[in-house]
Amino acid sequence: MQIFRYCSGTLALDHTIIMGILNITPDSFSDGGRFNTPDKALRHAMEMVEQGAGILDIGGQSTRPGHTPISAEEEWLRLEPVLKVVRARIEIPLSIDTYYKEVGRRALEYGVDILNDVSGSMKNGMPELAAQWGAGLVMMHGGGGADDRPEGLDAVAEVRRYFIEALGLAEKVGLPREQVCLDPGIGFGKSLAGDRQLAARLPEVLRGLPETAVLVGASRKRVVGACGKSPLPFEERLPGTLALHAIAQWNGARILRVHDVAAAVQAAALTDSLIKEKK
C-alpha cells in the first residue's frame, strides 16, 4: 500500500486525502484577508477538520499572478501566531506552504509535519531540511509564482523531467521516498493548455517512476475559470474544480489541495469508489 510519511506519523494512500487550504494572507486570490487572525484561522481550521480534511496546508504568502513577494521574516510574523493556536488544537498533520527554508525550519519547531515547497527549486535546502527532521516534503514543479509559459511548452515532458530530478535529489540527500510527495504545479509556470494536459495525461508523467505520493491542487485556479465561454469569477469555480480534481485523482493523484473541503471530500470518496471498480 502506498504511504506518505511525515514527522509524527504516516498517511495511508489507499484512499484520497483532502488537504484543506488555510490562507492567512491579506492578498490571496480567492480568500485573502478572511482568515488572517489567529481566532479566524483556528475557527476555519476546525471547520475543515470537521468536514473531513486529512491535512491542513497553512500559507502566509500569496503566489497568485502578479503577487508581490515578501521576506521570510515578514512571512514568519504572519505565520507564528496562527501556528501557535492551530497546532495546540488540531491533531491532523499540518503542512507549511512556503519557499523559504528558514520559515520551514521554524514551522517544524512549532510542530508542523510537512513542508510544502512552492519554490520549484532544488537548491534552497528544503530536501535536506526534510531529511534532517523526518518531515514530509511536497516538491512542486514551476513554483515561485503563477506566471504563464508559452503555449508551445511541453508541460508533460517538462514536469516528468522535474519529477525524475526531484526523486534523484531526495535519494542523494537521504530523504526516503515515502516522505516525498510530487506536485505537477498546476497554475505555476504553464499555459492553460499545459495545466489541462497535466491533469488529463498524469499517467504519462508518472509512467515508470518509483511509486510516490502525488498531490494536485487546482482549486479555483485560472484553468478552472477559463473553462466557460467567458472567464468565471473564483466564487463560481467549485464545479470545475471538482471535475478537474476527479480526473487527476482517477489518473493517480492521492492528495488534493482544496478550498472547499466538504464538497471535495464527497467527490473524492465517490471517485475512489469508482477507481476500485475498474481494478
149 pLDDT tier (thresholds 50, 70, 90): low
Per-residue pLDDT of 197-241, as tens digits, reads 999 999 999 999 999 999 999 999 999 988 877 788 888 899 999
Q: Select which of 87, 221, 222, 254 is catalytic.
A: 221
Q: What is the pLDDT of residue 234?
A: 81
**Mean of all residue pLDDT scores within the chain:** 91
Q: What is the pLDDT of residue 135?
A: 98
* CA–CA dist 275, 98 (Å, integer): 32
Q: Compute φ and ψ for 139, nearest 5 degrees.
A: -110, 110
Q: What is the pLDDT of residue 31?
A: 47
The answer to which of 55-64, 124-133, 148-157, 169-178 has the lowest mean pLDDT is 148-157
Per-residue pLDDT of 208-220, as tens digits, reads 999 999 999 999 9
pLDDT higher than 80, residue 85: yes
Q: What is the pLDDT of residue 157?
A: 96
Q: What is the pLDDT of residue 1?
A: 83
Per-residue pLDDT of 108-141, as tens digits, reads 999 999 999 999 888 999 999 999 999 999 999 9
For residue 190, indicate whether it is catalytic.
no
pLDDT higher than 90, residue 150: no
Q: Select which of 78, 160, 254, 257 is catalytic.
A: 257
Contact predicate 95/113, CB 8 Å: yes
Domain ranges of the chain: 3-278
CATH number of 3-278: 3.20.20.20
Per-residue pLDDT of 241-268, as tens digits, reads 999 999 999 999 999 999 999 999 999 9
How much of the chain, in percent, has pLDDT values that exceed 90? Answer: 76
Q: Which residues contact 238 (CB under 8 A, 6 or more apart)?
A: 220, 260, 263
For residue 279, indicate whether it is catalytic.
no
pTM of full prediction above 0.75: yes
pLDDT higher than 90, residue 186: yes
